[in-house]
A and B are shown apart, each in its own frame.
Chain A
Amino acid sequence: MDKSFWNIYKIFFKIGLLLLGGGYVILPLLQCELVDKKGWINGDELCEYYALSQSLPGLIAANVSIFTGFKLQGYLGAIAALAGCITPAFLSIVMVASILAKIVNNSVIHYVFWGVGVGVVILLFLAVKEMWARSIVDKFTWSIFAYALLLSVLKVSPVFVILSSIAFGIVYKITVKPKKENE
C-alpha cells in the first residue's frame, strides 16, 4: 500500500471513525495503524507530534493528523490526513443535528439528555483534572489558573485571557529567572 493521497485519506477516515469520546484517544489509534501495521513513521516521531500538538492551538486530533500527513506526503498529505480524520465527525453530526430538533420532544430522549447533562459535568471534571496534573506545577502556574478562571467567570473574552497569559509567562521567565541556565 503506497502513501498516495487516497490511501492516507482512507487510513485517517478509519481513525476518525474510531475517535469516540474526543480526540484524546488518537495516539493509540495512530500507533496501531501507522507505526505497527504500516511502518510509515516511527513511534518516537509520533510521540513528538502528539506532544507538540497539545501545546499548539486547535484540536489535538486535527494537529496530529496534519503533522503525520505532512511528514508522509507534504501539503497534500496533510490535507488528506486532516480531511480523513474529520469526515466521519462531520457526517455523523450533520445527521444527528438534522434529527435533533425532531427527537428532543420525545420523553425518553429528554430523560437521556437530562441524565447525560450530569454526565458531561463529570467528563469536564476529568478533563480539568488531567490538564491540572500536566499544567499546574508551581505558584506561578497556580496564579495563572486562578487568573484565567476569575476572568472567565467575569465573562472576559478567552482570547484576551490566552494572550495576556502568554505575556505574563514570557515576562515572568525573563524577570524571575535571568540567565539561570546560561547554555
Chain B
Amino acid sequence: MLFVQLIYEFFKTGLFSFGGGYATLPFLYHISETYGWFTAKQLSDMIAVSTITPGPLGVNVATFAGFMTSGILGAFIATTAVILPSYIIVIIVFKLLEKFRRNRHVQAAIYALKPAGCGLLTAVGVQIFRENVTNIWAVILFLGLLALTFKANRDPLIYLGISAVLGIVIGFCHLI
C-alpha cells in the first residue's frame, strides 16, 4: 500500500509540476503535510543538499523522499514515478511537434501556466523563509545575501558557500 501511495504521489508530482525542479516543491510540501513521510525541515535541508550534489533538484528530492519512507527500494520507486510522466509526455510531444507548437489552445495554456508556476513557487519561498529565517542573525544573513543578488551573480554555489561558512561562524559564537 505504501508503494502504491509513493507511485501515485510522485507520478502526480512529475505530471503536474511545470517549470523545472523547483516547481516540484509545492507538491512535495503537500506530500509532507499529508503523509508525514518527511518533515518540512528535512525537505528544506534536502534543497540545500541537492544544490551541492549532482543532478536535477526534483530527482534529488524524490530520491530522498522515497528513501525516507522505505529505504533504497522506496528511493528507486519514487524516482521512477517522478520521471515516468516526462518520458510519456515528451515522446508524445516529439511526435506531434509541429502540431503542438501551432495550436493556439496549447499556447494559451502555456501562457497561463508559467505565471501560475511562478506564483506557486513564491508561496514555497515564503514558507521556507518563515521556517528558516527565525532570528535576528538569520535576518541579517538573509539581507546580506539578498544585497549580493543585485550584484548580478547567479551561481547558486556562491550563496550556499557563504551561508554555510557564516553559519559555522555564527554558530561557534553561540549566537544561534
Residues of A in contact with B (beta carbons under 8 Å apart): 16-24, 26, 52-63, 66-67, 70-71, 75, 78-79, 82, 85-86, 88-90, 92-94, 96-98, 100, 104, 107-108, 110-129, 131-132, 134-136, 140-142, 144-150, 152-153, 155, 157-159, 161-163, 165-166, 168-170, 172-174
Whether the pair B112, A141 counts as a contact (CB closer than 8 A) is: yes
Given contacts A62-B56, A97-B67, A150-B119, list 16 more A-B pairs with CB under 8 A: A52-B97, A57-B89, A58-B85, A67-B94, A82-B86, A85-B55, A89-B63, A111-B172, A111-B176, A118-B132, A120-B160, A121-B142, A148-B116, A148-B123, A158-B120, A159-B16
Task: Tell me the dominant secondary structure on chain B's binding face.
Answer: helix
Q: Report A41 CB to chain B, min CB distance, Å.
A: 13
The verdict on A89 contacting B160 (CB below 8 Å), with A56-B86, A111-B172, A116-B48 known, is: no
The verdict on A113 contacting B45 (CB below 8 Å), with A141-B114, A170-B108 known, is: yes
Q: Report A25 CB to chain B, min CB distance, Å.
A: 9
Whether the pair A66, B119 counts as a contact (CB closer than 8 A) is: no
From B27, B112, B141, contact of A168 by CB (8 A): B112
From A22, A57, A124, contact of B125 by CB (8 A): A124
